[in-house]
Amino acid sequence: MDDKLTALQVLLHEVDDLNMAAALLSWDQTTYMPPGGAEARGRQIATLARLAHEKFTSEAIGRLLDDLRPYESSQSYASDEASLIRVTRREYERAVKVPAEYVARATAHAAAAYQVWTTARPANDFAAVRPCLEQTLDLSREYSSFFPGYRHIADPLIDASDYGMKAAMLRPLFAELRQQLLPIVQAITAHPPADDACLKQPFPEAQQLAFGADIIRQYGYDFERGRQDKTLHPFMTKFSLGDVRITTRVKEHDLSEALFSTLHEAGHAMYEQGINRAYEGTPLATGASAGVHESQSRLWENIVGRSLGFWQHYYPKLQAAFPQQLGAVPLDTFYRAINKVQRSLIRTDADEVTYNLHVMLRLDFELDMLEGTLAVRNLAEAWRERFAADLGITPPDDRDGALQDVHWFSGLIGGAFQGYTLGNLLSAQFYSAALAAHPSIPSEIEHGQFGALHGWLAENIYAPGSKFTAPELIERVTGGPMRIEPYLDYLRAKYSALYPL
Ligand code: ZN
């Protein structure tokens, strides 16, 4: 191995150490930190982010990347060595365009905005976050300004989470999906909604957490290299490939909240836990894109975790855990309850059929705000109008309207939401590729066994980390580009058995 490659790895590990320390401080901020720690914590995270950025954009790394060009070309494209140099160079070239001073400012702002949001949302106080959000929009535009030559001002922001994706590709893709989805939503919501009263009983927190933990352990989430804690807005984070954590929130009167957020975040976490351990501490040790990451969470949450076969195995266990609440509730009633389709207010609670409509309006608002056609001061009102038009109901307040998601209050505007819909599309496309390789997967799921599915994902999706771009990975794994048909086929097959479509 080239000694310059070793030198590069040493520097990359130092950058990673700083980033992982910042991630640990963020995890603490959103789980256990008392409110009094907020101000200093924001500064601490910003300092680490600045140091990591300065180190990563140092001349030393730039020189090594230049010196390594001949070595890179002597290795095959998919080799670990060439991939490490290629992906590091791509990230380096992006990072050097962004001044360290900006990174510190944006990170500190994000921490402050998050604190404002945590009190403004319960208080339904959009006015309190407005100045913050206006600053976030300015910072988002400033970010794009570091990448002159873009076609749409959102492109550099989208590119940062879904590399290679552009507003001009997303708009027609989402428009096509929307056109196909609306008739399905209309056909289903023309019927009375499923009765989900069985999920809205008192379920003690400790038993809820224990039941979810049992399932994800069976899925393949490794608690020796992870743990679960409670938070306001569930997420997955990692401090190394040996420490990949998930969070959840529990509602004692809603069984689905903690259960499905646990399955979701475990899907993200198994991806990270499954990355080739040799990539530890380098830019290869992360997911391929936001969309591919979300495909993994949605696959385990929905395609597996909300399937009939899965509950044929797990429902008797759930009934045994909650005999008073569910002992007399038949499986069919429970299955319909967890797959209830309705026009609802909250994206994270939305069913599989309406979910993407929630995402599309957010993407449009991001593009409009960045373009300057929607002012932050008009966002809350615009949200109410668009929501009524798309989902047929008007949010009664901003708490469950423009204030509901953490994203714009903990990061930038632009690039925050498209990954959710790309993930839904890819979850079905990857699952059908897994089924083609292992036709036994559905019958294994009916027996609470996930080895074939987890093994296929580990080999094909998890292990390469970010060695391949999302389009490359999709091509390698499914033999073609991303498509909307597998997802629509999946929805039609599943929901035509539940509703007359
Ligand atoms: Zn997710």
Per-residue pLDDT of the chain (501 residues; tens, 9 = 90+): 579 999 999 999 999 999 999 999 999 999 999 989 988 998 899 899 889 999 999 999 999 999 999 999 999 999 999 999 999 999 999 999 999 889 889 988 998 998 899 899 999 999 999 999 999 999 999 999 999 999 999 999 999 999 989 999 999 999 999 999 989 999 999 999 999 999 999 999 999 999 999 999 999 999 999 999 999 889 999 999 999 999 999 999 999 999 999 999 999 999 999 999 999 999 999 999 999 999 999 999 999 999 999 999 999 999 999 999 999 999 999 999 999 999 999 998 899 999 999 999 999 999 999 999 999 999 999 999 999 988 889 999 999 999 999 899 999 999 999 999 999 999 999 999 999 999 999 999 999 999 999 999 999 999 999 999 999 999 999 999 999 999 999 999 999 999 988
| 296 alpha carbon – ligand 1 mean position (Å) | 8
> Does 112 lie in the same domain as 204?
no
pLDDT in the model for residue 500: 83
Q: Can you tell me whether residue 361 is helix, strand or coil?
A: helix
Burial level of 346, CB count in 10 A (0-12/13-18/19+)? exposed
| 396 alpha carbon – ligand 1 mean position (Å) | 26
| 138 alpha carbon – ligand 1 mean position (Å) | 26
Q: How far apart are CA 16 and CA 119, in angstroms?
A: 32
Q: How far apart are CA 183 and CA 219, in angstroms?
A: 34
> Does 63 lie in the same domain as 199?
no
> Does 172 lie in the same domain as 111?
no
Evaluate whether 376 touches 133 at the Cβ level (below 8 Å): yes
> Does 204 lie in the same domain as 96?
no
> Does 34 lie in the same domain as 101?
yes
Torsion angle in degrees (nearest 10) through CA of 342, 348, 354, 360: 140
Q: Is residue 275 part of a domain?
A: yes
| 59 alpha carbon – ligand 1 mean position (Å) | 35
| 268 alpha carbon – ligand 1 mean position (Å) | 7
Q: Is residue 420 part of a domain?
A: yes
Mode of pairing for the β-strands spanning 228-230 and 243-248: parallel
Evaluate whether 301 touches 339 at the Cβ level (below 8 Å): no
| 63 alpha carbon – ligand 1 mean position (Å) | 37
Among the candidates 120, 148, 183, a domain finishes at 120
Q: How far apart are CA 171 and CA 141, in angstroms?
A: 20
| 300 alpha carbon – ligand 1 mean position (Å) | 11
Q: How far apart are CA 304 and CA 427, in angstroms?
A: 10
Type of residue numbered 368 = D
Type of residue numbered 140 = S
E strand segments, 219-274 = 228-230, 236-240, 243-248
Q: Is residue 144 part of a domain?
A: no
Q: Is residue 193 part of a domain?
A: yes
> Does 413 lie in the same domain as 349?
yes
> Does 177 lie in the same domain as 115?
no
List C-alpha distances in Å: 30 to 46, 83, 213, 236, 249. Answer: 16, 34, 21, 12, 12
Evaluate whether 119 touches 128 at the Cβ level (below 8 Å): yes
If you write DSSP's letter for every residue of 276-339 in order, what string do you get?
-GGGTTSTTSS-S-HHHHHHHHHIIIIIITTSHHHHHHHHHHHHHHSHHHHTTS-HHHHHHHHT
Structural domain boundaries enclosing 480: 167-496
Q: Which two tokens stand for residue 361?
A: 């309006």
User: Catalytic: 265?
Assistant: yes
β-partners of residue 228 are 246
Q: Which two tokens stand for residue 66?
A: 């230049």
| 234 alpha carbon – ligand 1 mean position (Å) | 9
Q: Note residues around ion ligand 1 (Cβ under 5 angstroms).
A: 294, 297
Backbone angles phi, psi at 455, to 5 degrees: -65, -40
Q: Is residue 208 part of a domain?
A: yes
pLDDT in the model for residue 107: 86
> Does 172 lie in the same domain as 97?
no
Q: Is residue 156 part of a domain?
A: no
Type of residue numbered 260 = F
Q: How far apart are CA 216 and CA 226, in angstroms?
A: 11
Type of residue numbered 303 = I
> Does 193 lie in the same domain as 54?
no
Q: What CATH number is attached to the domain comprising 353? A: 1.10.1370.30
> Does 461 lie in the same domain as 393?
yes
> Does 108 lie in the same domain as 240?
no
Evaluate whether 117 touches 129 at the Cβ level (below 8 Å): yes
Q: How far apart are CA 426 and CA 418, in angstroms?
A: 12
Q: How far apart are CA 486 and CA 290, in angstroms?
A: 19
pLDDT in the model for residue 135: 98
Evaluate whether 164 touches 90 at the Cβ level (below 8 Å): no
Return the axis-axis angle of helices 126-145 and 100-120, rounded to nearest 10°: 160
Among the candidates 96, 120, 144, a domain finishes at 120
> Does 393 lie in the same domain as 322?
yes
H-only helix segments in 122-254:
126-145, 155-161, 167-189, 205-219
Q: Which of 72, 265, 272, 301 is catalytic?
A: 265
Among the candidates 95, 120, 145, a domain finishes at 120
Evaluate whether 430 touches 457 at the Cβ level (below 8 Å): yes
Backbone angles phi, psi at 337, to 5 degrees: -65, -45
Q: Is residue 143 part of a domain?
A: no
Q: Is residue 134 part of a domain?
A: no
Number of domains in the chain: 2
Type of residue numbered 225 = R
